[in-house]
Amino acid sequence: MCGIAGFCNLHGNFREDPGKYYHLLQTMGQVQKHRGPDDDGVFLQRHVGLAHVRLSIQDPKGGAQPMTRQLADGRRAAIVFNGEIYNSPSLREELKKDGIPFETTCDTEVLLLGYLRRGLDFLRSLNGIFSLAIWDEQLENLYLIRDRLGVKPLFYTLRGQTLVFSSELKGILSHPDVQAEVDAEGLCEVFGLGPARTSGKAVYRSIREVLPGTILEFSGGTVSETPYWRLESHPHEDSFEETVEKTRFLLTDSIRMQLLSDVPVCTFLSGGIDSSLVTAVCSDEMQKAGKRLSTYSFDFKGNDRNFRANAFQPSQDRPFVDLMITHCHTEHRYLECTNDDLYAHLFQAVEARDLPCMADVESSMLYFCKQVAKHHKVALTGECADEIFGGYPWFHKEECFEANTFPWSMDFTPRTALLRDEVLELLPLEEYAKAAYEDTLKECPALAGESPVEKRRREISFLNLRWFMQTLLERMDRTSMQAGLEARVPFADHRIVEYLWNVPWKMKSCGGREKGLLREASRGLLPKEITERKKSPYPKTYDPAYESLLRKELLSILSERTQPIGRLVDPRKVRSYLEKPSDYGKPFYGQLMAGPQLMAYLLQVNYWLKARKVRILL
């Protein structure tokens, strides 16, 4: 993985002051150096500047960027690319048959030469995760392109006639013409939807995000967007047996493809069915090559004493991790996070995301990624299985199914209970969230003749793909890349998502179990104890000392009048809230973010406002 950044002005000339703009490109790249600690480069022409920082995974010696290529017909283009194209070997062979010569074995060159030979239609042949910018010298067009499911980030803003873009928001914020400002809409994102974020919006005023599966074209000084991929609904005609077989093939094929790397690969292993399947397939492939897979599991120091089983988190991971280590003969490392590490990384996670995020659910992942990155550059994860196979409780609970709002965030009280009354008058939080929910449902691909119940199931699946999965993918990208680690997500292969989108619920939940289809597709690859394990999400700490630390720090901040969050949050309301016992069983977002995480989120909001010097426009 890498980081990209740049700017384009079709009516200006950056070469008139090259020193200034080379320095600016270097700055926009260096603030993202964690994404690419191995190498960096810049490209500057009359109308465009491109910057790149590189984490070397494929062809470490030959894949330097920005990269330029020219065909025999004179067509020339430059590219900066963040991601991996898993089917690049086969695409390279196809292009070679067309007479296209190659200088490297990296996937960046496949992308660039594929574009020069076949144009933007080449995107439809890609299997991978990517965000990229292509400058076509002949057309004088800049294209910003993002993968189908939005695994890799890409932000942009238009300042006068100059388009500025970057993998991370900090790259854009380092441009002298861009100020960190947030208005009522941005604050509605933070308090009404956070830690989720509306696709296409970046919270900061006037900064946008390239939508997943979309080509953004900057031509003639104007921006236009064209989707190149959308989900389509159609009747599922495969039998149950055929569905299980095809699902198994797609899963194992995706995992095997994502082993493509010129550096060692590891996996995250929680002992759940998702990460266990990824680990089992990877281990089998590596054993064929005479290698042993490395695996990592995550937990919190003292959780063996402090863990509290509840409906969302019924069991600890360790016994199931141990079972998989024996089953797959992996070289395993158990990683634990202390309260102090968890608290410190709350704010490092904000630096990584440039926004308040998933509190300690995110800060712990950042800590763990840093530990993994000491030994590996590439990790395969089990992320995204719950969204496509229906693993979350809101796929099953009646009250979630019938809720006229986001089913992972049905209780709006914590979002409004702590804000100042005058702020609540200015921020239509519930109305904003309701509009975002309804707008998403309007985009859900309908299937003619589907029953109301199945239509609603499809809506919940679409909400998960567009919202909840995006939040977790963003968490995975920022925490891993902040550590210089490439985290891959085999379950987010677009072929799997397309196929599972149309599989009826009775097949997905076969046997009356969450992720029943995944369990069936995994039989024979995993121990029965794993395929029958009740879902238990990513771990979190249950240590009361951590909660006490959060309470103490939040009260301390609210006692200081100079802290920016004091303009938004009512200290009296917070003190009253903190006097009540925490309820770990009633999260305000997802499955894990309950009372302690709300405190941590407010601490993150305050840090974000200070660290980014955010100007509040209310």
CB 26 within 8 A of CB 42: yes
Question: What's the rounded Cα separation, in Å, for the pair 606 and 191?
Answer: 13
462 belongs to a structural domain: no
Quote the CA–CA distance of 388 and 463 in Å, as a whole number. Answer: 11
| DSSP symbols for 142-165 | EEEEE-TT--S--EEEEETTEEEE
Domain boundary, last residue among 502, 531, 560: 531
pLDDT at 175: 98
The predicted structure's pLDDT at residue 535: 81
Chain segment 432-487, per-residue pLDDT in tens: 999 999 999 999 999 999 999 999 999 999 999 999 999 999 999 999 999 999 99
Question: Does the structure show a pLDDT above 70 at 27?
Answer: yes
* 127 and 268, same domain (yes or no): no
Percentage with pLDDT > 90 across the chain: 86
417: phi then psi, degrees, rounded to nearest 5? -65, -25
185: amino acid identity, one letter:
E
Q: How far apart are CA 277 and CA 245, in angstroms?
A: 15
Kindly calculate the radius of gyration of the chain based on its CA atoms and give it in whole angstroms: 24
User: With the CA atoms of 83, 88, 91 and 97 taken in that order, what torsion angle do they form, in degrees rounded to the nearest 10?
Assistant: 130
Which of 172, 192, 227 finishes a domain? Answer: 227
Residue 431 lies in a domain: no
pLDDT of 311 > 60? The answer is: no
255 and 185 housed in the same domain: no
Residue 560 pLDDT > 80? yes
- Considering the domain boundaries, does residue 383 fall inside one? yes
Q: Please report, as a single letter, which amino acid is at residue 64.
A: A
Question: Is residue 492 within a helix (H) or strand (E), and if so which, with residue range?
Answer: none
Question: How large is the average pLDDT for residues 129-141?
Answer: 97
DSSP letter assigned to residue 593: B
pLDDT given for residue 314 in this prediction? 58
Task: Report d(CA 124, CA 129) in Å as an integer.
Answer: 13
Residues 186 and 318 placed together within one structural domain of the fold: no
pLDDT band (50, 70, 90) for residue 315 = low
Does one domain contain both 269 and 334?
Answer: yes
* 527 CB burial (10 A radius; 0-12, 13-18, 19+): middle
User: pLDDT value at position 434?
Assistant: 97
d(CA 47, CA 142): 10
Q: Residue 592 — pLDDT band, cuts 50, 70, 90?
A: confident
Distance CA 392, CA 387 (A): 7
Window from 181-190, 314-323, 577-586 with minimum mean pLDDT: 577-586
pLDDT band at 614 (very low <50, low <70, confident <90, very high): very high
Q: Which range marks the domain in which residue 66 is found? A: 2-227
Beta-strand relationship, 378-380 and 265-268: parallel
pLDDT at residue 582, as a whole number: 67
> What is the C-alpha separation between 91 and 67, in angstroms, rounded?
18
Angle between helix 469-482 and helix 339-353 axes, rounded to 10 deg: 100
How high is the pLDDT of residue 11? 94
48-54, strands of its sheet edge to edge: 39-44, 48-54, 2-8, 162-166, 155-159, 207-209
Residue type, 472: L
195: preceding bond cis by omega (within 30 degrees): yes
Would the pLDDT of 520 be above 80?
Answer: yes
Least confident of 299-308, 416-425, 518-527: 299-308
Evaluate whether residue 283 is within a structural domain.
yes
Task: Kindly compute the dihedral angle of the four CA atoms of residues 471, 472, 474, 475, in this order, to the nearest 10 degrees.
Answer: 120
Shortest CA distance to 526 belongs to which of 245, 281, 167?
Answer: 281
Angle at 145 between CA 118 and CA 615, to 5 degrees: 160
Number of domains in the chain: 3
Q: Give the pLDDT confidence of 2-19 residue by residue, as tens digits.
A: 999 999 999 999 999 999
Are residues 478 and 610 part of one domain?
Answer: no
222 shares its domain with 315? no
Q: What are phi and psi of 136, to 5 degrees?
A: -95, 110
Which residues are 486's β-sheet partners?
378
Say how far apart CA 147 and CA 277 lie, in whole Å: 24
* pLDDT range class, residue 301, cuts 50, 70, 90: confident
Q: Does residue 159 share a domain with residue 79?
A: yes
**Rounded to 5 degrees, what are φ and ψ at 313?**
-135, 85
Asked if residue 85 and residue 106 are part of one domain, the reply reads yes
In angstroms, rounded to a whole number, what is the distance separating the alpha carbons of residues 389 and 504?
11
User: For 239, which DSSP code?
Assistant: -
pLDDT of 421? 97
| pLDDT for residue 586 | 67
**What's the pLDDT at 244?**
98
For residue 425, is it within any domain?
no
* Average pLDDT score over residue span 116-120: 97
Predicted structure pTM score = 0.96
For residues 158 and 249, membership in a common domain is answered with: no
How far separated are the first and last CA of the chain, in Å rounded? 38
Residue 399: predicted pLDDT? 87
* Other Cβ atoms within 10 Å of 430 Cβ, number: 15
- pLDDT at residue number 207: 98
pLDDT at 67: 97
Question: Where residue 513 sits, what CATH number does that domain have?
Answer: 3.40.50.620
Mean pLDDT throughout 421-430? 97
pLDDT of amino acid 584: 54
CB 87 within 8 A of CB 123: no
Half-sphere exposure of 350 (CA within 13 A, CB side): 22
What pLDDT sits at residue 585?
56
Specify whether 30 is located in the same domain as 54: yes
Across the beta sheet with 222-227, the strand order is 67-70, 76-85, 128-136, 141-146, 214-219, 222-227
CATH code at 76?
3.60.20.10
Under the banding of pLDDT at 50, 70 and 90, the label for residue 310 is low
Tokens coding 472: 């977790």
Predicted local confidence at residue 113, as pLDDT: 98
Q: What does the alpha-carbon distance between residue 578 and residue 595 come to, in Å, rounded to a whole number?
A: 9
Strand order of the β-sheet with 294-300 is 331-337, 294-300, 265-268, 378-380, 486-488
In this prediction, residues 222-231 reach a mean pLDDT of 97
- Within a domain: residue 359? yes
By annotation, the residues acting in catalysis are 2
353 within 8 A of 474, measured Cβ to Cβ: yes
In a domain, 260, yes or no: yes
Residue 309 has pLDDT above 60, yes or no: no
Q: In terms of domains, do 32 and 137 share one?
A: yes
* Residue 307 pLDDT grade (very low, low, confident, very high; cuts 50, 70, 90): low
Q: Sign of torsion, CA 439 444 450 451?
A: negative
**486 and 342 both lie in a single domain:** yes
Domain annotation covers residue 51 = yes
